[in-house]
Structure 1
Amino acid sequence: MQSIKGKIAVITGASKGIGLATAEKFATQGANLVLVARSHELLNNVTQKLKKYGVDVISVPADLTKAEEVEKVFEKVKSYFQRVDILVNNAGRGIFNYIEHGSPKEWKEVIDLNLTGLIHCTHMAVKMMIPQRSGHIVNISSVAGRVGIPGWSVYCATKWAVVGFSESIRKELIKYNIRVTVIEPGVVTTEWGENMPEEWIRSRASMRALKAVDVAEAIYYVVTQPEYVSVNELLIRPTEQER
């Protein structure tokens, strides 16, 4: 197992859920953190909480659907740390809607965050990793990146795209010793999901779902493998989940 102590990790969607759990796990293991989310207040609270582990933590409030704000994040990383070792592309959004009821505005919001923002963050991180000839990109997809789910068509489309993007860049980046992992959680007990129908809410509540910390442990597992080991894809579901 490879230590992440002293490494610089950028985590998006870090103010709650999987991102927050991952930030806390990394902090306990000595990683220095750049935390990214839209909420300035939530990020400040998390930053103060994690500093107790004796690591360097900075927060960068940003809307990752805006190119200039993505670039601002990595300008801050470069000026503060001068490098990045791990990028966890966790920020994401899902809006339940059948295709006949959707709107271009809604579709664009989901695609711009889940896919375009993820690609842009990866682009910026990789430009810093290539001169180092090391690094690890962890993209959070979903079981919805493997199966089509009624009501989640646009969300599924973005997550399928994340899988294809991850496999493509994995092949591009081998020569720079940069590893790429896509993680696909099933149902997780978080605040994720907008416009969810009651039947979905009841189904999730009745299941012994994954916790955010379970996914954080999976992320920690992949980034601590020996340098010659690359976990390319990790699908993690609750035992009770069929699909």
Structure 2
Amino acid sequence: MERWQGKTALVTGASAGIGYAIADALARSGMKVIGCARNTEKILELAKKYKSGPGCVDAVQCDVTKTEQITAIFEHIEKHYKHVDVLVNNAGIAKYDTLVSGRTEKWREMFEINVLGLCICAREALKLMQKYNITDGNIVNINSYTGHFHMNLSNLSIILALSSSFSL
């Protein structure tokens, strides 16, 4: 972790769970961490822990389903830190609805957070990395354990049949 001391990281979903633990570990290792989430209360508490170093935590409110909030975070980063060296795309949710009974608004929310939010954050981080010639930056995309195995959801065969009937 010595390589990252003094470098800047953005951690999405930093208010709880894995995101909180990552923000804490990065700050403990000497990084400047921008922790973002819809609710920043826990991140503000974490920031107090690092008032005297070795790293620091900056809590910034952001709903990754809102493009304007994501771009505002990157404007904040450029103004105060110039760029990010590490982006940890951690924000994510899971909605367990079947194809037959699923609610479109729940699927849309999951897609906006887990896919679009991740992509927009990556795009904006890459823009700053390129602008400031960061050649050793890293983007880490985190998914849940459920992303690593087949979930036995009813009506899954319908999804597979529909997807296999279309070609790109």
The TM-score with structure 1 as length reference comes to 0.59
AA at the equivalent of 1:13: G
Aligned to 2:134: 132
Give the Cα–Cα distance (whole angstroms) in 2 for the partners of residues 45 and 153 of structure 1: 44
Q: One-letter code of the match for 2:113?
A: L
Highest Rg: 1 or 2?
2
Match of 2:96 in 1: 96
Q: Quote how far apart the aligned CAs of 1:40 are.
A: 2.9
> How many residues matched?
155
Deviations 1:21-46 (A, max 9, x none): 11111111101110001103222222
Residues 95, 152 of structure 1: 8 Å contact kept: no
Partner of 2:27: 27
Structural mapping, 1:204-243, within 5 Å: none
Change (3 A) 1:153 1:94: farther
1:151 Cα deviation from its structure 2 partner: 4.4
Task: Report sequence identity in percent.
Answer: 34
How far apart, in 2, do the equivalents of 1:87 and 1:102 lie?
32
- How many Å apart are 1:2 and its aligned residue? 5.2
1:105 matched to 2:109: no
Distance 2:86 2:45 in 1: 22
Distance between the aligned counterparts of 1:153 and 1:47, measured in 2? Answer: 45
Pair 1:148-2:150 in alignment: yes
* Normalised TM-score (structure 2): 0.83
Q: Please state how far the C-alpha of 1:145 moved relative to its aligned partner.
A: 2.9
Deviations for 1:186-212, whole angstroms, at most 9, x for unmatched residues?
Answer: xxxxxxxxxxxxxxxxxxxxxxxxxxx
Q: Could you tell which deviates more after superposition, 122-131 or 94-103?
A: 94-103
Deviation (angstroms), 1:52: 4.3
Aligned residues of 2:2 and 2:29 also touching (Cα < 8 A): no
Deviation track 1:132-174 (CA, whole Å, cap 9, x = no partner) reads 22300000023433433134999xx9xxxxxxxxxxxxxxxxx
1:43 touches 1:61 (CA, 8 Å); kept in 2? no
> Are the structure 2 counterparts of residues 3 and 32 from structure 1 closer, same or farther at C-alpha, using a change threshold of 3 Å?
same
Q: Distance in 2 between matches of 1:32 and 1:126?
A: 18
Question: Where do 5+ consecutive residues of structure 1 fail to align?
Answer: 158-243
| Structure 1 outlier segments of 4+, above 4 Å | 151-154
Please name the residue that 1:55 is paired with. 55
Amino acid in structure 2 at the alignment position of 1:75 = E
Let me know the Cα RMSD of the aligned residues. Answer: 2.3
